[in-house]
């Protein structure tokens, strides 16, 4: 009798344990790219995270591969992160910006992928550090819309990936991410469509604010740490002069520094911009030599404690205020 009771107790305990395990597994992941009924979305870095969160709303769980304060160009992907990509319901990334992410996606083969580079046109904005082909020369007409002669495919190593800094292009990407969410989670397609429309409207307003806010400026030229602002410059008729090229960690040559001295004087540059995630040493040295102000122009590759705003829209408006002051539009 005792033996039967013991056996029965063991069976019951095993059944309960199995039930709890099953319940837990269902609660956290059903193996279909969902957790607790919400679509699991993995974003490569902040601008993709912002889109996924704004459009996905409360129907998605969004995580990011690039943690706050990490320079996204130099990101390394762990085996655990690669495994996470393979289980995601949707991966939102920008091909060509982070080689480690591109490789990890190739290995993980996630079910659904939204590549931001495929939703707009990438361009080659020239080599800002060689003294010959400077970005901005083709963007002298405010609100320039044409891209003839400057297009580059997303796989082109020379293509400028910083499309999110142009609100108009970013709105194009938002529409693409919205469609990708609808495809990955058709049950909530109406919500994603509605949220996309709201975000696109906000980005269109941001575009109008930049157009109006930069009128009456006394110079078109600004100097910044690395060449992140080519699309923004083209959109609003500005002229970016970068200390470094597209790689924020590259060091400028002595010839480039001498050239920047000449450009700053000739174009009546008032401010040398630096950014939070990259060393400001060279920018401050240049500003000191020329007795110019320094200020932050944020390429929005991440949001951290030093960011001038809590999200993309707030930081972009802080960038607008900084540009207005630097270019004499206030």
Q: Are residues 239 and 304 in the same domain?
A: yes
Q: What is the pLDDT of residues 194-229, one digit of tens each?
A: 999 999 999 999 999 999 999 999 999 999 887 899
pLDDT average, residue stretch 296-321:
93
Confidence at residue 104, expressed as pLDDT on a 0 to 100 scale: 97
Spatial strand order of the sheet with 271-274 comes to 239-242, 221-224, 271-274, 293-296
3-state secondary structure 241-269: EECCCCCCCCCCCHHHHHHHHHHHHHCCC
Tokens of 50: 């912002």
> Has residue 144 been placed in a domain?
no
Q: Residue-wise over 294-310: b if at least 16 C-beta within 10 A, else e?
A: ebbbbbbbbbeeebeee
Same domain as 201, residue 313: no
pLDDT digits (tens, 9 = 90+) for 134-188: 443 333 334 433 333 333 333 344 789 999 999 999 999 999 999 999 999 999 9
Count of Cβ atoms closer than 10 Å to residue 261 Cβ? 13
Q: What are phi and psi of 274, to 5 degrees?
A: -130, 180
Q: Are 50 and 186 in a shared domain?
A: yes
Question: How many separate domains does the chain show?
Answer: 2
3-state class of 296 per DSSP?
strand
For residue 130, what are its two tokens?
Answer: 């060689």
Pair (179, 51) in one structural domain: yes
The model carries a pTM of 0.80
**108 or 285: which carries more pLDDT confidence?**
108
CA distances from 57 to 49, 108, 190, 196, 200 (A): 12, 26, 12, 10, 15
Flag whether pLDDT at 4 surpasses 60: no
Please name which of 271, 278, 320, 326 lies closest in space to residue 302, comparing C-alpha atoms: 278
The percentage of residues in the chain with a pLDDT greater than 70, rounded to a whole number, is: 77
Tell me the residue range of the domain where 198 lies: 33-119+155-205
Considering the chain, what percentage of its residues have pLDDT values greater than 90? 57
> What does the pLDDT read at residue 111?
92
pLDDT exceeds cutoff 80 at 24: no
pLDDT at 29: 42
What are the residues whose beta carbons fall under 8 Å from the beta carbon of 41, sequence distance 6 or more?
Answer: 52, 56, 60, 61, 62, 63, 88, 89, 90, 91, 92, 181
Give yes or no: residues 170 and 81 share one domain.
yes
Each residue of 227-250: pLDDT tens digit?
899 999 999 999 999 887 656 556
Of the three residues 205, 235, 267, the one that is the final residue of a domain is 205
């Amino acid at each position: 009798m005792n033996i039967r009771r013991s056996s029965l107790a063991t069976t019951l305990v095993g059944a309960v344990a199995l039930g709890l395990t099953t319940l837990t597994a269902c609660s956290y992941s059903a193996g279909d790219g969902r957790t607790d009924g919400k679509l699991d979305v993995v974003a490569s870095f902040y601008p993709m995270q912002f889109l996924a969160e704004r459009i996905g709303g409360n129907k998605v769980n969004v995580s990011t591969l690039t943690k706050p304060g990490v320079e996204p160009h130099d990101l390394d992907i762990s085996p655990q992160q690669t495994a996470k990509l393979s289980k995601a319901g949707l991966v939102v990334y920008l091909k060509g910006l982070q080689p480690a992410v591109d490789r990890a996606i190739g290995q993980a083969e996630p079910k659904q992928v939204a590549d931001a580079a495929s939703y707009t046109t990438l361009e080659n904005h020239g080599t800002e550090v060689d003294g010959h082909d400077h970005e901005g020369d083709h963007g002298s007409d405010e609100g320039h819309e044409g891209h003839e002669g400057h297009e580059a495919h997303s796989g082109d190593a020379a293509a400028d990936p910083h499309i999110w800094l142009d609100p108009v292009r970013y709105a194009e990407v938002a529409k693409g991410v919205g469609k990708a969410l609808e495809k990955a989670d058709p049950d909530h397609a109406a919500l994603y469509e509605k949220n996309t429309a709201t975000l696109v409207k906000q980005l269109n307003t941001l575009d109008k604010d930049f157009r109006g806010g930069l009128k009456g400026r006394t110079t078109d030229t600004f100097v910044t740490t690395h060449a992140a602002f080519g699309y923004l410059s083209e959109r609003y008729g500005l002229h970016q002069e970068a200390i470094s090229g597209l790689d924020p960690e590259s060091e400028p040559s002595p010839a480039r520094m001498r050239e920047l001295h000449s450009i700053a004087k000739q174009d009546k540059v008032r401010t040398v911009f630096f950014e939070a995630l990259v060393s400001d040493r060279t920018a401050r040295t240049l500003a000191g030599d020329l007795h110019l102000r320094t200020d932050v122009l944020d390429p929005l590759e991440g949001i951290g404690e030093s960011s001038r705003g809590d999200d993309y829209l707030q930081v972009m408006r802080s960038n607008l205020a900084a540009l207005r002051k630097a270019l004499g539009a206030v």
